[in-house]
Structure 1
Amino acid sequence: MLQISFWKRIVIWGLIAAGLIFALPNAFYTRVEGHNDAVAEIEVLGATPERDAARALWPDWMPGTLVNLGLDLRGGAHLLAEVQVGDVYADRLDGMWPEVRDALRAARDQVGTIRRQAGDATTLSVQISQSEGMGRALEIVRALATPVVSLTGVGSNDIEVAGQGDTITIRLSEAERSATDDRTMQQSVEIIRRRVDEVGTREPTIQRQGDDRILIQVPGIGSASELKELIGTTAQLTFHPVVGRTTDSTQNPGARQLILQSMDEPGVYYIVEQTPVVSGEELVDAQPSFDQNGRPAVSFRFNPTGARKFGDYTAENIGSPFAIVLDDEVISAPVIQSHIPGGSGIITGNFGIEESTNLAVLLRAGALPAQMSFLEERTIGPELGQDSIDAGRIACIVAFSAVLIFMFASYGMFGMFANMALVLNVGLLFGLLSMIGATLTLPGIAGIVLTIGMAVDANVLIFERIREELKTAKGPARAIELGYEKALSAIIDANITTFIISVILFVLGSGPVRGFAITLGLGIMTSVFTAIFVTRLFVVMWFERRRPKTIEV
């Protein structure tokens, strides 16, 4: 019998209604976008008359999710950055020096005095005064090695230790360098993502390309130079013991020491030890605040390891100054008045509220582990993005109109049912894209246009099958029922193969290819749903109302 049960009809209409409701905000894009921005600002900064007015542009009880516009549609900035992964090796070896020094000092009666020698960036050289104790020294240093934490470095240690004469050389192993490169890239990608997310941009694309490159695309940002300024700032916070201060910037600071300019005192330079007591890597939180005099400041908090180091140092150096260094400039150099347990403190300096807020953002995001050079930069203006939207809209309208005319001319009333389902198909597609927060790009629009063309394929198969069944002198009800049943396998097979291709494109592709794959895959799902269920529901409802003795397809 040609019929659909009541509960199935409720489910079909319910899914259609849900999809169209989620797609509706895209028809009022500017208003909904202003509403969403106002809600986010009210949660962070509080309500104002202007924000309340913007919030009232769209009802709170309605869905407010939108299909995000990609870089080529909204405009924005594109950067291709190369990470100098080799810079991390020197920092890693430099950080090992205190541990090596303390371990060898514990065996001073066997190895004598210890002194670090100047060397290249990939080697840590340590000289001992008793060369006959080289065997013991090598044993001590090799005991500091740890296993490499990576899938490819299983069974390897992180350092290679060798000795010649009275000098010990320490290098990172090949497995550790490879693992360090991977960690550096992952950390760089994550820090860039956090920095970009902090400023509230929409749907940025930040992904690794190759061994040492990162692709950064941020829609809605003013220019590539603005994006470079945001992500290129190091924001490396360190705490160093102060050796002295001077007004002569050309003074030789001495071995393993640095001469850094004061941020608050023009013409004043601090001489500090090169190895910091605590670094920004051990920072877990930073928030803008005010000091006891009401001036803008930044409060910070260390993790347990950093808190222990900070507490031990302040307990052992009461009365001595220590320098708070940000990006090779001394913010302040207070004198330690007492033991500071808990690993928290406050940074004061000559900066305003906006500067303290930006500093807190950068410190929370963390320091980039290595320097970056920008190989490619491009700014896409919003006018070009609007041109792309207009071109995509024209392409969709032309494709839509051509399909509607063809289906009506070929199948008459049944073609009208297919056209109605096609309209709902596009609405459901935008509803799904809005629900998952997808980003629409020019290739994504191409996927929508392709979906419009493919959406009626299933209806063509069904209607042609109904024609074949009518030629065998079956009644209209039986012909329609057999048409849907016998065309189902061909519809499923054809769409499954295309869906598999879209999955492969999504997994193996990147950027625009993924955008095309998402719209194509979701379009296949909505097309199959509307062809098998929605169009059939229209036909059944029409048949129940008219009860025709004969039909023409």
Structure 2
Amino acid sequence: MSNTNKALILIVVVIMLAIYVVVPNSPGIPFGENPKKFVTRLGLDLVGGVQALLEADLPAGTNIDSEAMRTATTIVENRVNGLGVNEAVVQQAGDRRIVVELPGETDPEEALAVLRQTGLLEFVDFSALTDQEIQTLLNSQTKIKTDFGLSEEDASIQPTPSSTETITSSQTITNPLASLSDTIFHTIMTGADLKTAAVTTNQANQYEISFELTENGAGIFAEHTAAHIGDVLAIVLDKEIISAPGINDAIPDGRGVIQGSFDQESANALAVQLRYGSLPIPLVVVETRTVGPTLGQDSLQKSMLAGLVGFIIVVLFMIIYYRLSGLMAVLSILIYALIVFAIFRGVPVTLTLAGIAGFLLSTGSALDANILIFERIKEELRAGKNLKLSLDLAFKRARPAIIDSNIATLITCAILFWFGSTFGATIVKGFSITLAIGVGVSLFTAMVVTRTMMTLTLNNFKSTDYAKWFGI
């Protein structure tokens, strides 16, 4: 079997695989424990959503531990995934900032509120309070005081009436919240003892949160629940009560459920807070940018129109100027676009306006490689050489220039990717990724696809009117 036939088989296989990935109803890869679906990911600027810049809420000049910052980035990413936001991007920018992009997010304020919470999660004993007092605290959303982090001496100090206030047995306390807000409650354990938390439904189809504790937490929880059946164990996040479930039974195995008047949204929000509660450093939102879905859709439509117009102009130029060779180049570029789009869906790569620009620029690189080859063919034909020899010499002499230019572009892409990763410039990062993928595929289409099609065509080419067919 000749090298041309081997290359043809390779091209056909690659095209078939690319078509399988690109078709809208592709079944994906249905094998293994996690079947993979092929999707087209669109970024924030194409579908709308919110972008936020989070910064460590610490005094300027404070030395921030790099490991703590990486941990904070991971926790923020987990919180984003827990919110159910598709194609979200969470990336550390520098030594104290985190960039978060939430494409398609319809309630940015709620999402940002979950992201910036420091998240000190505590399970607090409310057994000494009456139902009315618990309800008062829940309704007021007042921050409470707990003994977590306090010494035993400080925790034992309870507030006393001030010197300007006299309370007698005949007086009625008209503001019970004042005394409750000064009470120091006992923390049974913190979120560090919580292993998992997830939203489930019971037999009555009501939402509840199932949880599992660590070995240490299970022991503490078993002892407390056994001694406080019928009492309330509050769940407190950053000293604010987010839930106050009662203890119905002892929980000896570290597995239980939190019941309440939950809908799907509130149950999911509580589960996210439980799972990803603790940030090692506090974060504050210093900048937000919201893109409406209408604006994003308009940008996508205009980008597609611009790409189509540019492609038509290029096709006309190539066919008019290079004739038969130009037609081969157009077919090669169509195959190139198919393969690149398949890679975008298969990886998948999140497409932004900058990413589309990178793809279109790489298309120019693919055409540039073909033009170098075609001009070489014309030079050899003008020198009196036959078609087969001209084709071989053209590819041989054009190859170094094509490879060198593409390597230079890939080096630039690597520098842009590093810059985008280091400083949180996701636009630059997306541009570099799509450009690098496009340049890599353009090498394959120029050196393999175009050459194979040209060889097969010229092997059956009988005319000697080179000026007519090759634009000499």
Same fold (TM over 0.5): yes
Local SS of the residue matching 1:546: coil
Distance 1:6 1:333 in 2: 72
Give the match for residue 430 of structure 2.
515
> What amino acid is aligned across from residue 217 of structure 2 in structure 1?
G
Local SS of the residue matching 1:389: helix
Distance 1:292 1:539 in 2: 68
Give the match for residue 66 of structure 2.
182
Tell me by how many angstroms 1:429 deviates: 1.3
Alpha-carbon spacing, 1:225–1:295, altered in 2? closer, same or farther (3 Å)? closer
Distance 2:336 2:158 in 1: 66
Local SS of the residue matching 1:445: helix
Conservation of the 8 A alpha-carbon contact between 2:83 and 2:269: no
Local SS of the residue matching 1:547: coil
Distance 2:102 2:54 in 1: 14
Alpha-carbon spacing, 1:436–1:214, altered in 2? closer, same or farther (3 Å)? same
**Are residue 71 (structure 1) and residue 70 (structure 2) matched?**
no
1:428 counterpart (324, 339, 342): 339
2:212 counterpart (298, 301, 307): 301
Distance 1:272 1:290 in 2: 35
**CA deviation digits over 1:165-198, x for unaligned, max 9?**
xxxxxxxxx9xx957x434433332222222212
Local SS of the residue matching 1:245: coil
1:354-369 matches, within 5 Å, as 354-369=265-280
Local SS of the residue matching 2:129: strand
Give the match for residue 233 of structure 2.
323
Give the match for residue 374 of structure 1.
285
Distance 1:335 1:202 in 2: 36
Local SS of the residue matching 2:466: coil
Distance 1:360 1:443 in 2: 36
Tell me by how many angstroms 1:498 deviates: 0.9
1:198 counterpart (82, 86, 92): 82
Alpha-carbon spacing, 1:351–1:269, altered in 2? closer, same or farther (3 Å)? farther
**Are residue 384 (structure 1) and residue 357 (structure 2) matched?**
no
**Are residue 226 (structure 1) and residue 136 (structure 2) matched?**
no
**Are residue 280 (structure 1) and residue 204 (structure 2) matched?**
no
**Are residue 487 (structure 1) and residue 398 (structure 2) matched?**
yes
**CA deviation digits over 1:356-397, x for unaligned, max 9?**
343223312334445432211222111111221122123212
Conservation of the 8 A alpha-carbon contact between 2:127 and 2:233: no
Alpha-carbon spacing, 1:420–1:290, altered in 2? closer, same or farther (3 Å)? closer
Conservation of the 8 A alpha-carbon contact between 1:16 and 1:428: yes
**CA deviation digits over 1:381-432, x for unaligned, max 9?**
1111122112212321232123222222321111111111112212221111
**CA deviation digits over 1:447-473, x for unaligned, max 9?**
122122221111111112122222332
- Higher relative CO (Cα under 8 Å, sequence separation at least 6) belongs to 2
Conservation of the 8 A alpha-carbon contact between 1:476 and 1:551: no
Tell me by how many angstroms 1:494 deviates: 1.3
> What amino acid is aligned across from residue 41 of structure 2 in structure 1?
N
1:83-98 matches, within 5 Å, as 83-84=56-57
Distance 1:220 1:457 in 2: 37
Conservation of the 8 A alpha-carbon contact between 2:225 and 2:247: no
Give the match for residue 6 of structure 2.
7
Tell me by how many angstroms 1:436 deviates: 0.8
Distance 1:359 1:351 in 2: 9
Distance 2:305 2:110 in 1: 33
Distance 1:511 1:426 in 2: 23
Distance 1:290 1:382 in 2: 33
> What amino acid is aligned across from residue 326 of structure 1 in structure 2?
V
**CA deviation digits over 1:224-270, x for unaligned, max 9?**
323224434566542235584375989999942789xxxxxx97959
> What amino acid is aligned across from residue 453 of structure 1 in structure 2?
G
**Are residue 343 (structure 1) and residue 343 (structure 2) matched?**
no
Give the match for residue 389 of structure 2.
478
1:242-257 matches, within 5 Å, as 244-245=128-129, 247=133, 255-256=154-155
1:214 counterpart (82, 90, 98): 98
Question: What TM-score comes out, normalization by structure 1 length?
Answer: 0.67
Give the match for residue 19 of structure 1.
18
Conservation of the 8 A alpha-carbon contact between 1:399 and 1:453: no
Tell me by how many angstroms 1:332 deviates: 3.8
Instruction: Specify every segment of 5 or more residues in structure 2 that has no aligned partner in the other structure, as ranges.
Output: 147-152, 160-175
> What amino acid is aligned across from residue 68 of structure 1 in structure 2?
R
> What amino acid is aligned across from residue 213 of structure 2 in structure 1?
F
> What amino acid is aligned across from residue 257 of structure 2 in structure 1?
I
> What amino acid is aligned across from residue 324 of structure 1 in structure 2?
A
Number of aligned pairs?
423
> What amino acid is aligned across from residue 325 of structure 1 in structure 2?
I
Conservation of the 8 A alpha-carbon contact between 1:242 and 1:271: no
Question: What TM-score comes out, normalization by structure 2 length?
Answer: 0.77
Alpha-carbon spacing, 1:16–1:320, altered in 2? closer, same or farther (3 Å)? closer
Local SS of the residue matching 1:307: helix
Local SS of the residue matching 2:253: helix
Distance 1:403 1:258 in 2: 80
**RMSD, matched Cα:** 3.8
Distance 2:187 2:10 in 1: 65
Alpha-carbon spacing, 1:84–1:312, altered in 2? closer, same or farther (3 Å)? farther
Alpha-carbon spacing, 1:342–1:183, altered in 2? closer, same or farther (3 Å)? farther
Query: Greater CA deviation, 289-298 or 415-424?
Result: 289-298
Give the match for residue 155 of structure 1.
none
Distance 2:222 2:56 in 1: 34
Conservation of the 8 A alpha-carbon contact between 2:52 and 2:100: yes
Distance 1:409 1:21 in 2: 33
Query: Greater CA deviation, 323-332 or 220-229?
Result: 323-332
Tell me by how many angstroms 1:310 deviates: 3.4
> What amino acid is aligned across from residue 319 of structure 2 in structure 1?
F
Give the match for residue 158 of structure 1.
none
Give the match for residue 453 of structure 2.
538
Distance 1:292 1:478 in 2: 78
